[in-house]
Amino acid sequence: MAVAENILSKTEIDRQFEERRVSERISASVALRVAVLKPTQQDLYLNTFDELRRRFLMSVEYNRLMLVGRKALKDARMPQGELAVFAETVELRMEMLASLSGLATHSVSLQARQDIMISESGIKFPHPENIEPNTMICLRMASYSSPILALFALANVVHSSVERDNDTGAHVGVAAKFEKIHADDRQQLKSFVSLRESQLQLAA
């Protein structure tokens, strides 16, 4: 019985393989991005992205379970529905985070705001929350550390989403709408940074 419990199922092995494959591609992508940064920017970028990646990979099991019940996974045209969508989703979202953290690093180093676009076109599932995207971005950012929040608060974050035709389900143009993070949301981020730093100082 104990031996049987230690044997991984094929699904688990496939999932671990996909995670390793995606992680290797992410690392290669990050290496290319770091190569074009100035030496003074590289550590900041790597530290920022490492935390984003670590926190995201900690949540992959949650994302996998969330995907299981979605209608898209029952589509017979999609091979190995759950695994295919899961792997693609992880890869696309990590590419998005790599671009985001790189641009934030560059923006802060220049001490000037630079538009950062978060594009989710091509990802196979919608936002889980039924709220405005810019609000969702702020809420998700709240789980990150103070240095990362500070980067995003300084940057000018833009969110783009792709509309779908209700009848056909097809994409209706790329970046059909854009929403900039509002001043109130930006202030909320800055307030959160200050609060987090105060709590850390008290704890120390």
Domain boundaries, the chain: 12-203
Note the pLDDT of residue 138: 37
What is the edge-to-edge ordering of all strands in the sheet holding 115-119? 115-119, 156-161, 177-180
Q: What is the dihedral of CA 151, 153, 158, 161, to 10 degrees?
A: 90
C-alpha dihedral sign at 129, 134, 138, 141: positive
Residue 119 Ramachandran class (φ > 0 left, ψ -120 to 50 alpha, else beta): beta
Residue 115 near residue 156, CB atoms below 8 Å? yes
The mean pLDDT value for 175-186 works out to: 44
Burial of 101 (0-12, 13-18, 19+ CB in 10 A): buried
In the block, residue with structure tokens 């099991």: 61
Residue 52 near residue 96, CB atoms below 8 Å? no
- String of DSSP letters for the chain: -HHHHHSPPHHHHHHHHHHHHHHHHHHHHHHHHHHTS-HHHHHHHHHHHHHHHHHHHHTHHHHHHHHHTSGGGG-TTSTTHHHHHHHHHHHHHHHHHHHHHHHHHHHHHTTS--EEEEE-TT-SS--SS-S-HHHHHHHHHTTS-HHHHHHHHHSEEEEEE--B-TTT--B-SSS-EEEEPPHHHHHHHHHHHHHHHHHHHHH-
Query: Which of 66-75, 101-110, 112-121 is predicted most confidently?
Result: 101-110
pLDDT digits (tens, 9 = 90+) for 13-35: 555 555 555 555 555 555 555 55
pLDDT digits (tens, 9 = 90+) for 42-101: 555 555 555 555 554 444 444 444 444 344 444 444 444 444 444 454 444 445 444 445
Q: What is the dihedral of CA 157, 49, 105, 123, to 10 degrees?
A: -30
Kindly tell me if the per-residue pLDDT of 203 is higher than 60. yes
**Band of pLDDT at residue 183, cut at 50, 70 and 90:** low
- The end-to-end CA distance of the chain, in Å, is 47
The mean pLDDT value for 168-182 works out to: 39
Note the pLDDT of residue 147: 46
